[in-house]
Amino acid sequence: MISHSSFSLQPYNTFGIEAHCYRFIELQQRDDVALWASMQQQSDKPFFLLGGGSNVVFLPWIDKSVVKVSLHGIELLKEDDEHVWIQAAAGENWSDFVDFCVQKGWGGLENLTGIPGTVGASPVQNVGAYGVEAKDAIESVECFGIASGKWKNVLNSECQFSYRDSIFKQALKNQVIITSVTFRLDKNPSLNLSYGGIQQQLKKEGILQPTIKDVSRAVKTLRNEKLPDPAIIGSAGSFFKNPVVAVDKYISLKNHYPDMVAFPVGEDYKLAAGWLIEQCGWKGKQIGKVGVYPKQALVLINLGSCTGNDVKQLALAIQQSVQEKFDVKLETEALFIE
Ligand SMILES: Cc1cc2nc3c(=O)[nH]c(=O)nc-3n(C[C@H](O)[C@H](O)[C@H](O)COP(=O)(O)OP(=O)(O)OC[C@H]3O[C@@H](n4cnc5c(N)ncnc54)[C@H](O)[C@@H]3O)c2cc1C
């Protein structure tokens, strides 16, 4: 276990924001987890569990212990004729893990390639892209109870997964550390090509009978066209969730705005937050050192050395204008940490 006080978090968030925290602790081995939890039980300082820092906006001073989970290892637990059960430690890089599974020919995660961050965070907001969510492949999530000092396996059916949400953002928030995730993947994969231009991309490449490798490559190409690479432009990816509205609200908006982009979800409709933000004139706008990505209005970007407060102000201004124009509440997907 590594521990530093008053530590700079700039290298630990994809927004590239400079921020300091009371203490930075890195858990590198399984034994560190129990050791830190017992120390935390004696401390009155709050803590924040950090993965890859790709879904967070740090405010300048974080009066907390920031605890980075850096456990590593991938293990094939079992297999039968149809499936493999593979366990990855929380600190493994998510996209590298997906690519490892794709190379092995195990299907289920290929649409989720290219999402920054760690395996341990994937169940927290039930990461999703191109018609697939982590919940579709997660078998169970291994956790350590910070107060109980006990290991626990939370089954998929207990995770309360929904759109960008799970029990780990709700009842188990700050109660457990996720230490590894087990996925059940398909040896004879069926492809999900229904979403976001994957089929057009494959067609462009002249691929008629795609494999999971082709799908993952197509997804990467599509993502690179739309999203900034955090190594070049700081961001937290999609900054806002796509709001879900009741059918009456959807119909009234659609009457006013026939071009509005929306998808049915059960009896409700999910509106494309990027479209709403673009209609309010924000796409490509820059306010000081922070801006809205010119290729995708859902993404806020660091134009140099923005602070968490700059991002907060811009996010608030965007939320206000969407509320005024459409009477729709935009919730942030990225988390402000202070
Ligand atoms: C360019 C870009 C593109 C993106 N595209 C997508 C996308 O397509 N789909 C999508 O869903 N997301 C996307 N994201 C958001 C982000 O990548 C995901 O939310 C990712 O899962 C966050 O992982 P992380 O390890 O960086 O988590 P962090 O940002 O470090 O933490 C996120 C949350 O998880 C908790 N957490 C992290 N590790 C643990 C642990 N071991 N135990 C308990 N809690 C933990 C944290 O406390 C926090 O609440 C994108 C982000 C960027 C920058």
Indicate the top mutation candidate among 27, 124, 223 to test ligand 1's pocket, ranked by most ligand atoms within 8 A of CB.
Answer: 124
Q: What is the CATH number of the domain that holds 305?
A: 3.90.78.10
Ligand 1 pocket residue status of 128, Cβ below 6 Å: yes
- The verdict on whether 238 is a catalytic residue reads yes
Q: What is the CATH number of the domain that holds 19?
A: 3.30.43.10
* Residues 241 and 222 placed together within one structural domain of the fold: no
Indicate the top mutation candidate among 115, 175, 241, 333 to test ligand 1's pocket, ranked by most ligand atoms within 8 A of CB.
Answer: 115
Kindly state the percentage of the chain with pLDDT values over 70.
99
* Residues 10 and 116 placed together within one structural domain of the fold: no
CA 276 to chain centre: 21
Ligand 1 pocket residue status of 115, Cβ below 6 Å: yes
* Residues 98 and 186 placed together within one structural domain of the fold: yes
Q: Which of 122, 140, 180, 238 is catalytic?
A: 238
Across 210-228, average pLDDT:
96
**Residue 165 near residue 125 (C-beta atoms within 8 A):** yes
Across 285-289, average pLDDT:
95
The protein residue with its alpha carbon nearest to ligand 1, atom 19, reads: 55
* Residues 34 and 65 placed together within one structural domain of the fold: yes
Ligand 1 pocket residue status of 70, Cβ below 6 Å: no
- The verdict on whether 23 is a catalytic residue reads no
Across 18-31, average pLDDT:
95
pLDDT at 7 over 80: no
Structural domain boundaries, residue 114: 74-226
Q: Which of 18, 139, 278, 333 is catalytic?
A: 333
The protein residue with its alpha carbon nearest to ligand 1, atom 33, reads: 121
Q: What is the CATH number of the domain that holds 172?
A: 3.30.465.10
Q: Which ligand 1 atom is the nearest neighbour of the CA of 134? A: 11
* Residues 111 and 217 placed together within one structural domain of the fold: yes
pLDDT at 328 over 90: yes
Cα 224 to middle of ligand 1, angstroms: 18
pLDDT at 205 over 80: yes
The protein residue with its alpha carbon nearest to ligand 1, atom 10, reads: 127
Cα 88 to middle of ligand 1, angstroms: 16
Ligand 1 pocket residue status of 302, Cβ below 6 Å: no
* Residues 207 and 255 placed together within one structural domain of the fold: no
* Residues 102 and 199 placed together within one structural domain of the fold: yes
* Residues 82 and 220 placed together within one structural domain of the fold: yes
Q: Which ligand 1 atom is the nearest neighbour of the CA of 177? A: 42
How many domains would you assign to the chain?
3
Give the Cα separation of 225 and 234 in Å (integer): 16
Q: Which ligand 1 atom is the nearest neighbour of the CA of 122? A: 21
List the strands of the sheet with 61-69, edge to edge.
Answer: 2-8, 20-27, 61-69, 47-50
- The verdict on whether 164 is a catalytic residue reads yes
Output phi, psi for 47, to 5 deg: -135, 160
Domain-ending residue, one of 210, 226, 242: 226
Domain-ending residue, one of 173, 206, 226: 226
Cα 142 to middle of ligand 1, angstroms: 17
pLDDT tens across 102-131, in order?
Answer: 999 999 999 999 999 999 999 999 999 999
Q: Which of 133, 140, 164, 166 is catalytic?
A: 164
Give the Cα separation of 148 and 154 in Å (integer): 15
* Residues 82 and 139 placed together within one structural domain of the fold: yes
Output phi, psi for 266, to 5 deg: 60, -125
Of 122, 127, 181, which is closest to residue 153 (Cα–Cα)? 181
Instruction: Provide the pLDDT for residue 1.
Output: 72
* Residues 298 and 185 placed together within one structural domain of the fold: no
Ligand 1 pocket residue status of 236, Cβ below 6 Å: yes
Domain-ending residue, one of 168, 202, 226: 226
pLDDT at 198 over 70: yes
Instruction: Provide the pLDDT for residue 5.
Output: 67
Ligand 1 pocket residue status of 154, Cβ below 6 Å: no
* Residues 98 and 29 placed together within one structural domain of the fold: no
* Residues 27 and 113 placed together within one structural domain of the fold: no
